[in-house]
Every structure is written in C-alpha cells, then in structure tokens.
C-alpha cells in the first residue's frame, strides 16, 4: 500500500504506458529509489493529464503496485448531496409516498447502502468530514456549525484538483461557515458554477472532473401544503414514533417529502446532462444527504433519523447493478474512496476506509483488505448557538446492528438548546422552527406515553442505550436496566477505544470547553418567537367535496 505518490503530467501519454509505470513502481520498491528533490516539487502543467504515480515509500509486508486504480482512465466524480434528508425516505428503501426515481435508478444501476451514516448530524461538520475523511473532532473548529474550516487538513476535492482534475460546485458546498478565514480561496467543495451545464462548458477538453451539487432541499422553511398540492395523501404518511401523529404534522412531513422529490428531480437533470456528454460510463455518481430530516429528535441528534443516510453509488461497468450493501459506512469513507479510484495515494491524515472493496468485491486485491464494518461511530459538538455561554451539547456514540450507545458529556445542559432564545433560532434552537416543533413545545407538562416534549426537548441522562433491532425510533432507554449492563459496558469500552485512537480531546478531558469557545460566525433570530401566534397562523389544506381543498387551521386538526 503506497504511502506517498508524486503526480506528474506528460503530454501525449497513453494507456500503453501503464505497464511501464507498474515496472517503475516495482523498481522503486525493491531498490528504495528516491526521486530528486526538484522532481518531488513538480506541479501539473499541461492541459491533457496522464497520471504517472511514482512510489516514494511503501508500507512493509506486501509488494505495492503503481496504484490500486481500478479504471484505465481517472474516473469523473459527480457528488450529489441533499440538505437534511433521512433514511429511509426513498423509493428504493420501500417508502410508499416519496417519489425518488433518480435515486432509485442509481441504486438499481449500482449500489444501495442500507447502513450509511454521517459523521455528525449537523451541516458544517458533516460536510467537513466528507471532504477530509476525518472525524469532526479531528478538525478543530470545523467540528461546529457556523465555524471556520482550516485548510491545513487535506481535502479530496483539492487533492484531485492538484492532480489535474477540473473541479467545481453548484449551490451549497461546505457550510455554513467561513472557509476563507481558514485559508481556502473558495468553497472547499470547489469553485462556484451556476449549473452543471456551465461547469461542463468551462471544463478544458479531456480533463477528468469532479463536480459537487449541493441542493438546498429539503432544508426548511417549507411552504405549507406543497405536498398536498402535489397530490400526496395525508392518510398515507407514516409518522416517526418520536413525533405525535396529528394531521398538521403529517402535512409537515409531506412538505418535507415534496422537497426531497424536488432534490431528486434536480439530480435527474444533472444526470441527463451527463449522459449527453457521452461520459457516464467513466463517472462515479454518488447521491446522499448531509444529515437527517429537520424535525425534533432527528437533525442535530445522533439517533437514526439524525445520522442514518440514504446512499446510492453508481459506476457503470464497475459496480454490479443491483448491489445491496448492508455493511456499515461512515461519511469519512468518501475521501479515501475517491482518491483511490483516481489512482492517488490516501494521505495518512485520513481516517476513513475506502469503499472500493465493498463496491468491487470481485477485485481480489481490494477484497483482501476489506476492513470489518460491523459498527459506526457518531458525534456532535455545538450545532446552533442555542445555550447561554455559547455552550454546545457534546455527544459521542457507537451504532451496531443491534444497539445504539450514546454518551452525553454534559447532561445538565438542554439537548435541543435553552428554553429561552440565546443567539440563534429562538427557543430550543437546535431544533429547526416548524409547526411540528411548535406543537410539541405546546405539549409541555402533558406527559403521556411517549412523552413527546421530553423526547424532543427534555434533559437526557449521561448514558443512553437502545436496542435498535426492536426499537427503531429509539424511544426506550435501556442504559439503567441490569440485564443490559454487560452490553452497555462493552459498547462504552468500544467507544472509549475509538476516541483514544482518533485523538479525541474528550478521551482525556471529557468536559473540555474547547468547542464551546470556538467562534460562532453568524447571528440570527436572537429573540423568542410567540408560540401561540406561530400555531394560530399555521394553516394546511384538506381534501373537500368535489375534488376541492379547504384551508384548515392547525388547532382544529
């Protein structure tokens, strides 16, 4: 396995030079050959790149090859990422309402992941982990929302650009936050383009490319009843068990579905444009989300509806159509996957593991090093600035097929933010404002089983344990039950080992204030909202006689 490579561009190079490259790699490995210093500093200079990968040093134990590239030419990469979309809300996962033909097609033509997880259930840290292949706690200030993203951490988009790729993004890349203060000349996901067509028009002929499309959907706010207007049915909604089943909440879910469908259509337009270029067969297409749906106890929480993501990956001619992958993956795995597919060395700073052994199981060289994927580690620091003192709500967690174990480091803090507005979003500012949030806030003190207010906004114990195989919505905390003591201790030890291995500050200093002192780079919604007014002003459509709709206030549902 190569430690370092040098990428050189040679005009007029051809595929026939690959065997020579492999020969040179073996020569370097056997003779401990080192390139002269001037060659190690060379930069790509020609517009028609052919990548010759010289090995500088290799790991002991096995003879390396020039690279583990699985394509004769560097593949194009199209990365399609939604904003706040949860598993299992796609047709390919069996959802009977939301219509996602683009996602379903990519899954049918390539691979569908059933256990894909973001590194953190918050936009900025999730996207930073995607780009760097590092866990948020390894990224200093970038572990927080609305943060500064340091450019010192290698980023697969930047590495591909240095290797000769043409890169760019449309709409939301990394963010929200301040990348320029971190040293980036433009968004870490690439220079901005108005559309995929504009990006392709600007691309130099023959260059491989990496394109990031970051949709704004299904992020809030929503226009009420857009799902109803699009023909969706309130009666068909399956309300997650951590939310009360009321008609106006069903309407809110349908509006979320409407925006999921709009993102899917946007992605479909990009793929149709790709097919017109004649290069879809040498293109890796990824379609996923950054974190979970913008509802209480979902987004900004490490429960499944906050961290478990839809994911489909297509690579025609490489990934076997109809592949279904049940192994666990974390979004830190994207970076090494793309670099390896492009034939580039994976920097030591990257902690993710390439997905190619899963995607290309018939490649014996890849499958021999497929790591164990029986669990995934999750985390969060400060999401919105929603607590006095600029305090976050630090969490680390481990998810296996059977259990979700959560460690809350500051259980005396409010998990969804203070009951009174601090600096952003209003009361309980870690939960996006919505009719669903307002109705649950209005249930305070009513109790019930489950107690929806307590689930969404109440304080939580230092440890949580859920048997997810029997409790898909994570409602029944088993952490204090004697019969689960052994499992709790085992998962706590697994989490502690991972924290220590990844250099987590909280491994040695669980109550560190580091992320509480990181600057929050914006201010908005500094005041409390009027809860009664918000509920009173919400209306939604219900079917009436003669195919007509009538507008109904939420209080009457």
- Which domains, and CATH codes, for the chain? 2-58 (no CATH), 76-370 (3.40.720.10), 377-517 (no CATH)
Q: Rounded CA gap, 247 and 149, in Å? A: 41
Q: Rounded CA gap, 332 and 344, in Å? A: 17
pLDDT tens track, the chain, 557 positions: 333 333 333 333 333 333 333 333 333 332 333 333 323 333 333 333 333 333 333 333 332 333 445 567 899 999 999 999 999 999 999 999 999 999 999 999 999 999 999 999 999 999 999 999 999 999 999 999 999 999 999 999 999 999 999 999 999 999 999 999 999 999 999 999 999 999 999 999 989 999 999 999 999 999 999 999 999 999 999 999 999 999 999 999 999 999 999 999 999 999 999 999 878 789 999 999 999 999 999 999 999 999 999 999 999 999 999 999 999 999 999 999 999 999 999 999 999 999 999 999 887 666 666 678 999 999 999 999 999 999 999 999 999 999 999 999 999 999 999 999 888 788 999 999 999 999 999 999 999 999 999 999 999 999 999 999 999 999 999 999 999 999 999 999 999 999 999 999 999 999 999 999 999 888 777 789 999 999 999 999 988 777 788 999 997 65
| DSSP β-bridge partners for residue 204 | none
Whole-angstrom CA distances from 376 to 69, 117, 122, 360 are: 26, 7, 17, 21
Among the residues of 217-302, which ranges form H helices?
226-229, 247-276
Q: Rounded CA gap, 74 and 207, in Å? A: 9
| Backbone angles phi and psi of 480, in degrees to 5 | -95, 0
Torsion of CA 324, 325, 330, 334, to 10 degrees: -70
Which helix or strand (DSSP H or E) is residue 545 part of?
Answer: none
So what's the pLDDT on residue 364?
62
Q: Rounded CA gap, 144 and 185, in Å? A: 21
Q: Rounded CA gap, 232 and 222, in Å? A: 15
Whole-angstrom CA distances from 208 to 36, 51, 200 are: 28, 11, 11
Among the residues of 360-504, which ranges form H helices?
364-367, 435-441, 452-457, 485-501
C-alpha angle 182-431-405 in degrees, rounded to nearest 5: 85
Most distant CA atoms of the chain, gap in Å:
84
Cis peptide bond prior to 231, omega within 30° of 0: no
Q: Is the dihedral of CA 65, 66, 72, 77 positive or negative?
A: positive
SS3 79: strand
Q: Rounded CA gap, 321 and 315, in Å? A: 9
Q: Rounded CA gap, 154 and 350, in Å? A: 8
In 3D space, the residue among 146, 125, 289, 306 whose CA is nearest the CA of residue 213 turns out to be: 289
- Is residue 155 within 8 A of residue 188, CB to CB? The reply is yes
Per the structure block, which two tokens stand in for 282?
């040498």
Q: Is the dihedral of CA 320, 335, 172, 504 positive or negative?
A: positive
So what's the pLDDT on residue 363?
72
In 3D space, the residue among 316, 329, 133, 295 whose CA is nearest the CA of residue 222 turns out to be: 295
pTM for this model (two decimals): 0.87
Q: Rounded CA gap, 217 and 453, in Å? A: 27
């Amino acid at each position: 396995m190569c430690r370092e490579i040098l990428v050189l561009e040679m005009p007029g190079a051809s595929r026939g030079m690959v065997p020579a490259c492999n020969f040179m790699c073996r020569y370097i490995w056997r003779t401990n050959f080192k390139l002269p210093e001037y060659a190690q500093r060379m930069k790509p200079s020609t517009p028609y790149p052919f990548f010759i990968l010289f090995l500088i040093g290799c790991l002991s134990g096995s003879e390396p090859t020039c690279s583990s590239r699985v394509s004769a030419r560097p593949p194009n990469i199209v990365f399609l990422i939604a904003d706040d979309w949860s598993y299992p809300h796609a047709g390919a996962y069996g959802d009977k309402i939301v219509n996602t033909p683009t996602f379903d097609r990519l899954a049918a033509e390539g691979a569908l992941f059933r256990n894909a997880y973001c590194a953190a259930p918050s936009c900025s840290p999730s996207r930073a982990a995607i780009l760097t292949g590092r866990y948020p706690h390894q990224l200093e200030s970038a572990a927080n929302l609305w943060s500064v993203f340091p450019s010192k951490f290698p980023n697969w988009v930047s590495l591909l650009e240095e290797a000769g790729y043409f890169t760019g993004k449309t709409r939301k890349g990394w963010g929200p936050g301040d990348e320029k203060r971190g040293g980036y000349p433009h968004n870490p996901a690439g220079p901005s383009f108005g559309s995929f067509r504009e990006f392709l028009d600007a691309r130099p002929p023959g260059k491989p490319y990496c394109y990031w499309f970051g949709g704004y959907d299904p992020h809030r706010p929503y226009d009420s009843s857009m799902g109803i207007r699009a023909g969706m049915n309130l009666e068909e909604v399956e309300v997650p068990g951590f939310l009360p089943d009321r008609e106006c909440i069903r309407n809110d879910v349908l509006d979320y579905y409407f925006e999921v469908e709009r993102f899917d259509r946007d992605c479909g337009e990009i793929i149709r444009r790709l097919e017109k270029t004649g290069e879809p067969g040498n293109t890796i297409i990824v379609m996923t989300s950054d974190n979970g749906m913008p509802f209480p106890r979902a987004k900004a929480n490490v429960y499944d509806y906050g961290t478990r993501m839809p994911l489909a990956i297509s690579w025609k001619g490489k990934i076997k159509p109809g592949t279904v992958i049940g192994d666990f993956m974390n979004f830190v795995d994207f970076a090494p996957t793309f670099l390896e597919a492009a034939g580039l060395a994976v920097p030591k700073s990257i902690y993710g593991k390439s997905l190619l052994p899963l995607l290309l199981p018939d490649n014996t060289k890849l499958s021999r090093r497929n790591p164990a994927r029986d669990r995934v580690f999750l985390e969060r620091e400060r999401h919105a600035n929603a607590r006095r003192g600029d305090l976050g709500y630090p969490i680390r967690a481990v998810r296996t097929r059977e259990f979700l174990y959560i460690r809350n480091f500051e259980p005396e803090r409010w998990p969804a933010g203070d009951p009174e507005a601090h600096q952003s979003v209003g009361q309980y500012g870690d939960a996006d404002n919505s009719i669903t949030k307002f109705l649950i806030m209005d249930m305070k003190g009513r109790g019930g089983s489950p107690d929806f207010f307590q689930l969404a906004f109440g304080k939580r114990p230092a440890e949580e344990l859920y048997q997810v195989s029997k409790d898909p919505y994570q409602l029944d905390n088993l952490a204090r039950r004697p019969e689960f003591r052994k499992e709790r201790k085992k998962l706590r030890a697994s989490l502690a080992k991972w924290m220590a291995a990844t250099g987590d500050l909280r491994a040695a200093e669980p109550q560190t204030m580091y992320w509480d002192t990181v600057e929050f780079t914006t201010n908005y919604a500094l005041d409390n909202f009027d809860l009664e007014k918000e509920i009173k002003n919400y209306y939604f459509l219900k079917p009436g006689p003669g195919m007509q709709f009538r507008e109904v206030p939420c209080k009457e549902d």
